[in-house]
Amino acid sequence: MGGQFKFLLSVLLVSVIVLSSTSSCKGQIANIAVEGPSTVGVCGEFTVDIWIRDLPASMIEFDTRVEWDTTMMEYVSHVSHVTGNGWAPSYFSQIPGLIQLGALGPPFSQDASWITITFHCLGSGISKIRIEESNIEGATAGIAWNKIDLEVNQIEPATVGGISAPIDKIELLAPYMILGGLIVAASTAYIIKKRKA
């Protein structure tokens, strides 16, 4: 009985070691994510980064498409990180509401940002910067991916100190106009008195 127990325990231990040494990445899905601020002020500029994270295997090529609502935000500029990551761009295009980016290079498996995009916020409301129609290729097969969009809450900047109300300019300037009139009247009276003397 003792020998069978030791044998079963040995088989179980060897099985655990073998299973734990196999790649824990099997079944994982890469993430293509838009990362940036969740709240921005109207008329302000903000930046987002397009990341590829959690690669289960090394990739050798990718392409992705980023879209946004042009009534809520507009493209200002971008900085590509493709060459900084040791890869070469295969294509890039930018039209209103859409950026397409493709790159290829030696096997790459790290989490990395591939492009930083600067936007100008046009109006208040909630909008999304979305990942669409992407593709990640590994050395032997395509890599499954999951998209992580960014929802941006675009808010009007808060007024400083109290309630905002329209200003009547005449009412605002009236005290200064009265003071100016008194100075002119006093100066005139003084000049007339001085001439009589």
The reply to whether 101 falls in a domain is yes
The reply to whether 72 falls in a domain is yes
For 47, phi then psi, to 5°, come to: -120, 150
The reply to whether 64 falls in a domain is yes
Q: How far apart are CA 61 and CA 124, in angstroms?
A: 37
- Tell me the one-letter amino acid at 106: P
Assigned token pair, 39: 């709240």
DSSP 102-113: EEEEEEE-S-EE
- Domain of 126, CATH number, reads 2.60.40.680
The reply to whether 15 falls in a domain is no
Other CB atoms within a 10 A radius of the CB of residue 190 amount to 10
Question: For position 6, what pLDDT does the model report?
Answer: 59
Find out whether 108 and 58 touch, Cβ atoms under 8 Å: yes
Structural domain total, the chain: 1
Find out whether 10 and 26 touch, Cβ atoms under 8 Å: no
Q: How far apart are CA 33 and CA 146, in angstroms?
A: 8
pLDDT in tens, the chain (197 residues): 566 555 554 544 445 454 444 444 445 899 999 999 999 999 999 999 999 999 999 999 999 999 999 999 999 999 999 999 999 999 999 999 999 999 999 999 999 999 999 999 999 999 999 999 999 999 899 999 999 999 999 998 766 655 666 677 777 788 888 888 889 888 888 888 888 77
Question: For position 16, what pLDDT does the model report?
Answer: 43
Question: For position 24, what pLDDT does the model report?
Answer: 43
Residue 122: closest CA among 45, 66, 67, 39: 45
The reply to whether 186 falls in a domain is no
How distant, in Å, are the alpha carbons of 39, 62, 108, 133, 181 from that of 84? 29, 16, 13, 24, 70
Q: How far apart are CA 50 and CA 48, in angstroms?
A: 7
Range of the domain at 129: 26-155
The reply to whether 109 falls in a domain is yes
Q: How far apart are the first and last CA of the chain?
A: 137
Q: List b or e across 6-33, with b for residues whose CB sees 16 or more CB atoms inside 10 angstroms.
A: eeeeeeeeeeeeeeeeeeeeeeeebbbb
The reply to whether 177 falls in a domain is no
The reply to whether 187 falls in a domain is no
- Tell me the one-letter amino acid at 69: D
Q: How far apart are CA 36 and CA 26, in angstroms?
A: 29
